[in-house]
């Protein structure tokens, strides 16, 4: 079992930066593909979480949603059981609850995974609010 805990959310202005962190328990962290998802205010009732970024277990492969490409960077430190999401040039539409997620699926380790259903472990979320 893996437990994930996010931190680093907050209230910022458009154009500002934030770095989200996620710490994982357990010794298997370095084997998991990790991802960041977000749930926007409009998607709360549908319980839908939007893919943001993914990183393979080695950290060599990353992938991003088109909406954040060039602004967000996902990274990980396997020695510290940490995964990060550096968010630059934030926009009001980035306002959401951000979730860290971990996947043990073998095929995700090759290119990462974008599907919410492909992740086994989830954190509790951290709120990011961007004002205009």
The DSSP secondary-structure symbol of 109 reads H
Q: Indicate the SS3 state at residue 124.
A: coil
State the greatest distance between any 2 C-alpha atoms of the chain, in Å, as a whole number.
Answer: 42
Identify which of 48, 54, 50, 24 has the alpha carbon closest to the alpha carbon of residue 37.
50
| Spatial distance between the Cα atoms of 34 and 28, rounded to a whole number of angstroms | 12
The neighbouring-strand residues paired with 64 are 53
Backbone angles phi, psi at 124, to 5 degrees: -90, -15
For the chain, the first-to-last Cα distance in angstroms comes to: 40
| Spatial distance between the Cα atoms of 61 and 109, rounded to a whole number of angstroms | 9
| Spatial distance between the Cα atoms of 29 and 39, rounded to a whole number of angstroms | 24
pLDDT of amino acid 45: 64
pLDDT of amino acid 101: 97
User: pLDDT means per 10 residues in the chain (132 residues)?
Assistant: 94 98 92 95 74 96 97 97 98 96 92 94 96 96
pLDDT of amino acid 44: 64
């Amino acid at each position: 079992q893996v437990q994930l805990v996010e931190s680093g959310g907050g209230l910022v202005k458009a154009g500002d930066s934030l770095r989200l962190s996620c710490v994982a328990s357990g010794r298997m962290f370095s084997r998991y593909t990790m991802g960041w998802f977000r749930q926007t205010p409009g998607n709360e009732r549908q319980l839908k979480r939007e893919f943001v970024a993914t990183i393979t277990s080695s950290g060599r492969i990353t992938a991003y949603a088109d909406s954040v490409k060039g602004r967000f960077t996902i990274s990980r430190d396997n020695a510290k059981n940490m995964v990060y999401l550096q968010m630059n040039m934030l926009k009001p539409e980035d306002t959401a609850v951000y979730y860290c997620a971990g996947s043990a699926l073998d095929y995700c380790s090759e290119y990462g995974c974008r599907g919410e259903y492909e992740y086994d472990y989830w954190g509790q979320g951290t709120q990011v609010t961007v004002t205009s």
